[in-house]
């Protein structure tokens, strides 16, 4: 599965913002947001909502890169997100996301009929390679209902 294409195809808002992917590995993803004046806030950097969406999108790609093979039996849902805005971002920004759970443990809970919960950590850097924001997204895999 082309995870980047899947994410941008199923999340129109990420596509609207122009988010792209630099890399997607097992449990990791790096997403990019170009520096666009129409996405700036009142102090000239990327709007907080744009940074949030970039990080949440990267977290979804990281999660899918490790657990996408489970989509036939469960729906991934973000259940909570926490973001810290540390510095004003300057220029283009990238979000590097990393799954903070072992794939085997998540799948084992799903196999046991449970609804696994796990986190993805994201670090957002600006064009000067400065960490400008940090985010943690909590995800769950909601098992499909059996008919």
Percent of the chain residues topping a pLDDT of 90: 97
What's the mean pLDDT when you consider all of the chain?
95
Tell me the residue range of the domain where 70 lies: 3-143
Output the CA angle 15-19-23, nearest 5 degrees.
Answer: 125
Measured CA to CA, the distance from residue 28 to residue 51 in angstroms comes to 18
Q: Is the pLDDT of residue 132 over 60?
A: yes
Our count of domains for the chain comes to 1
pTM value is 0.95
Q: Is the pLDDT of residue 147 over 90?
A: no
**8: CATH:** 3.10.129.10
Mean pLDDT, rounded, for 3-24: 94
Measured CA to CA, the distance from residue 82 to residue 87 in angstroms comes to 16
Q: What is the pLDDT of residues 64-86, one digit of tens each?
A: 999 999 999 999 999 999 999 99
Q: Which residue has the tokens 């949440």?
A: 56
């Amino acid at each position: 599965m082309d995870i980047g294409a899947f994410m941008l195809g199923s999340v129109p808002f990420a596509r609207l913002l122009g988010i792209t992917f630099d890399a997607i590995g097992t449990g990791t993803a790096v997403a990019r947001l170009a520096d666009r004046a129409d996405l700036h806030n009142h102090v000239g950097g990327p709007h907080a909502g744009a940074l949030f969406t970039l990080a949440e999108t990267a977290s979804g790609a990281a999660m899918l890169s490790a657990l996408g093979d489970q989509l036939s039996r469960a729906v991934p849902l973000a259940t909570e997100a926490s973001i810290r805005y540390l510095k004003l971002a300057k220029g283009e920004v990238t979000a590097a996301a990393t799954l903070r759970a072992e794939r085997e443990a998540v799948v084992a809970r799903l196999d046991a009929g449970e609804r696994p919960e796990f986190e993805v950590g994201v670090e957002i850097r600006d064009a000067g390679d400065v960490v400008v924001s940090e985010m943690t997204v909590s995800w769950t895999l909601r098992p499909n209902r059996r008919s």
